[in-house]
Amino acid sequence: MGGKSRTARCSRCGVQLVVPPFARTIRCALCHGITNVGPRHDPVRQAVGFVRSMVNSLNPLSSYASGGSSMNNNNNSLWNLPPSYPQVQGKKRALLIGVSYTMRRYELKGTVNDVNCMRYLLCERFGFPRECILVLTEEERDPWRKPTKESVRMAMRWLVMGCGAGDSLVFHFSGHGVQKPDTNGDEVDGYDEALCPLDFETNGPILDDEINETLVRPLPRGAKLHAIVDACHSGTVLDLPYLCRFNRGGFYQWEDHSPPSGVYKGTSGGLAVLISGCDDHQTSADTNAFAGSASTGAMTYSFIQALEFEPGTTYGRLLTAMRSAIRDANTGIGGGPIASLLRKVFSLGLTQEPQLSSSEMFDIYRRPFLL
């Protein structure tokens, strides 16, 4: 891109932002305020920013300025978050979304099961407090917990609100995904990836640009986000800078997927990792194919099974196990419940390979998978 990124404080809420090289303005992913970052070395502007951040530290939004993980309950009125959303901002928290599209021709049967299985895994295997998990499904009575576009947007902001060093965030989505023509020149293949909320036909899908800006950009140093997305065309749905490519022999290499436009797609110092159900050009298994058994997404099922069978696994072994389960089911090799279920799916001729992308490159066979 030429030049180095730097940091600046949001002029509205005081959160620290990563400024792309040569940028003169930047929009905050949390409060959406516009900050004039000006020339790289501007002592007057830096002094003004410092004063503003000090003032902001005295108001209820100070959790953003300080980078702490505590949240004043009064923030709900300021950020317009529904009162039914979890008030506890624990060090471990998760957003689990399952969209069934009930009574529609593209209805999915297994998304609620996916969410319930993920909640069990997070609570029982990784120590996530139940009160720090926000669930959006069509079965929820609270209208703000229905997976509409507006609710999903608010829930994503809730997930990253006030996150700080040591926080572990999980975003799980089970539903439909689509591709849309790219309009801002930041996609190599010319298409944006997007998630489909319940009302996407009337209000549109949520593009990867927005998901990146909301979930990835605010992550401060020491915080980490794991996104598990079980949807079609989801390979790069977080728009992360690096995509891991590896073959059946286990050899891998990281590809640089930084946008041609030079727009910064990384974090504010934290780590963001996406495990997606398939490559951008592929489709994930339609859970309707699991008729006659407990419906669940192929990717979510294989993900949970891999972690149950091998606790403390690495990222590389996790992805290899997931791909092997799906590949064996597709070719009729292997046995057990996962192979039996997946064979029903792949009898329809579907193809998918779970993908790994990240905000930074690392040794996938040495780094343990920890939530």
Q: Of 162, 181, 172, which Cα lies nearest the Cα of 94?
A: 172
Write down the catalytic residue from 172, 176, 226, 233.
Answer: 176
Q: How far apart (Å, rounded) are the C-alpha atoms in residues 353 and 324?
A: 9
Return all residues near 163 (Cβ < 8 A) that are at least 6 apart.
69, 169, 218, 219, 220, 223, 270
Question: Alpha-carbon distance 215 to 370, whole Å?
Answer: 19
- Asked about 233 being catalytic, the answer comes back as no
Contacts of 143 (CB under 8 A, 6+ apart): 151
User: Cα-flanking dihedrals φ and ψ of residue 291, to 5°?
Assistant: -55, 140
**How many angstroms separate the CA atoms of 63 and 370, rounded?**
25
Measured from the Cβ of residue 36, the count of other Cβ atoms closer than 10 Å reads 14
- 257, two tokens: 């997927």
DSSP structural state of residue 368: B
Q: For residue 232, indicate whether it is catalytic.
A: yes
Q: Which of 240, 273, 99 is nearest to 173 (CA)?
A: 99
What is the phi/psi pair of residue 317, to 5°?
-70, -35
Q: Which of 28, 132, 232, 278 is catalytic?
A: 232
| Dist CA 305 CA 139 (whole Å) | 25
Cross-strand bridge partners of residue 169: 93, 225
Tokens (6 digits) for 195: 């998630």
In this structure, the number of other CB atoms found within 10 A of the CB of residue 307 comes to: 19
How far is the C-alpha of 219 from the C-alpha of 222, rounded, in Å? 8
Contacts for 190-197 with beta carbons within 8 Å, 24 or more apart? 191/280, 193/233, 193/234, 193/235, 193/236, 193/237, 193/239, 193/280, 194/233, 194/237, 195/152, 195/229, 195/231, 195/234, 195/237, 196/99, 196/101, 196/231, 197/99, 197/147, 197/148, 197/149, 197/151, 197/152
Active site residues: 176, 232
